[in-house]
Amino acid sequence: MGRLFGTDGVRGRANADLTPELALSVALAAAHVLAESDRSHPPLAVVGRDPRASGEMLEAAVVAGLTSAGANVVRVGVLPTPGVAYLTAETNADLGVMLSASHNPMPDNGIKLFAAGGHKLPDDVEREIESAIEAAASGDPATAWQRPLGARVGRVNDLLDGADHYVKHLLGSVAAPLAGVKVVVDCANGAAADIAPVAYREAGAEVVAIHAAPDGYNINDNCGSTHLDQVAAAVREHGADLGLAHDGDADRCLAVAADGSTVDGDQIMAILALAMREAGTLTGDTLVTTVMSNLGLKIAMTGAGIHLVETKVGDRYVLEALRHGGYALGGEQSGHLVLPAHATTGDGVLTGLQLMARMAATGASLAALASVVTPLPQVLLNVPVGDRARGAGAPAVQAAVAEAEAQLAGTGRVLLRPSGTELLVRVMVEAATGDVAREVAERVAVQVRLASPAE
């Protein structure tokens, strides 16, 4: 078996790549790997999902796998991924399971796992779970698990007020009411549909909610953080101060200013980093970012006396750096921001609250706050491939990258990254002008396609 876990859990087409049988196997193995063996009581697992239709099927399989391992299960229903992480910690559970494919289209789904405390899993634990699944599938009696019988089989309960606990937690992160802030929130017909409008209203903002009627099929459908034109149009229509856009599981947040211009994760990080340094809460005057962050962010933060720590792409790598260094803020250009004082993982609704709190505290517009960062023109091409490793690593591809870097000569950069969840190689180029960035990106993309044609 190859690597099962990608950048953010196990993901694929529901009932094709990600079958109920696989979901059961992952849950069973996770229970054995993550649950403490010396506990005097059965292990406890929290299970939540986003509203996509296949989540109902996969939830049943995950619950079956967990209970067959002797774990008791608390189902929290439809809830953002960070809400499941929070409740995993709050209930002292041994593990948490979130069923979501994040920003992916409806036919996809995924399994995200949390260890005790609501923390995402490091690579070595994911590999241990993969090995456990492989061993169980081998049929070798020596590796078979002893199945609990009778009263030792796990039980299932529903936590009906889990969303209320999570909203209360979010509101505790805001020091003052958001009076005077009018916001349009695009809930992506996803897990934020009930949570985000309530949290923003109770924090004091005037809220216009769009795409907040999930039916199981319309999640991320031409809406949310991957379609900012929708929220931008609504901001202009309603005369709002800003717009916020979440993805299907609400672990990310992107924004638009009053004029509809985009404010990405890099700019949001800069706004919050400066606010936290002013408040004395930006530990070590350090911001944790990934290699995908725009050079404009680094230039702005360096000029402000804020140090950057760079990680691989993926909010769990940001989380590892935050925990290792004891830092207070990190995130990704895509809108995954992590504030360890309030969350163990990326939380889009928390990010939205903190961004509006800065606007309310300063009286400044979002555009004015975001202007601290002048992004370099950036082009990102998603190139379909048959084999991600070859698409990114073939000699002709590497030669094209070297030639491009020589051409840019320190005025930009080239980054190739195989997707962790799809058969894509992402070609990202930054340069002094958009025309140069696009020309270089397309030239590299041609070599990627030739090296590994899409099937």
Same domain, 36 and 63: yes
Domain membership of residue 4 (yes or no) is no
Q: Which of 328, 345, 370 is the last residue of a domain?
A: 370
154 and 241, same domain (yes or no): no
Place of tokens 């209203």: 201
pLDDT for 253-285, tens place per residue?
Answer: 999 999 999 999 999 999 999 999 999 999 999
**DSSP-assigned beta bridge partners for residue 311:** 290
* 126 three-class SS: helix
Q: Give the CA radius of gyration of the chain.
A: 22
Domain count, the chain: 3
pLDDT in tens, 95-117: 999 999 999 999 999 999 999 99
102 is catalytic: yes
Among the residue ranges 230-234, 242-246, 386-390, the one predicted with the least confidence is 386-390
Binding residues for Mg(2+): 102, 247, 249, 251
b/e 205-214 (16+ beta carbons within 10 angstroms → b) = bbbbbbbbeb
CATH number at residue 60: 3.40.120.10
Bridge-partner residues for 10, per DSSP? 111
Q: Which of 317, 337, 370 is the last residue of a domain?
A: 370
Helix (H, G, I), strand (E, B) or coil at 243: strand
Considering the candidates 25, 54, 100, 102, report the single residue annotated as catalytic. 102
Distance CA 368, CA 362 (A): 11
List, in sequence order, every residue forming a beta bridge with 12; answer none if it has no partner: 109
Q: Which residue segment(s) compose the domain that 18 sits in? A: 10-159
Q: With beta carbons less than 8 A apart as the criterion, state whether 253 and 352 touch.
A: yes
Query: Residue 2: is its pLDDT beyond 80?
Result: no
Name the percent of the chain lying above pLDDT 90.
Answer: 86
d(CA 58, CA 42): 23
Can you tell me the distance from the alpha carbon of 426 to that of 423, in angstroms, rounded to the nearest whole number? Answer: 10
Going by the annotation, the residues of the binding site are 102, 247, 249, 251
Instruction: Give pLDDT, residue 455.
Output: 77
Task: Report whether 54 contacts 15 (CB < 8 A).
Answer: yes
Q: State the CB neighbour count (10 A cutoff) for residue 195.
A: 26
CA distances to 106, 120, 317, 332, 373 from 7, rounded to whole Å, are 19, 11, 9, 13, 27
Domain end call among 134, 159, 184:
159
Domain co-membership, 107 together with 181 = no
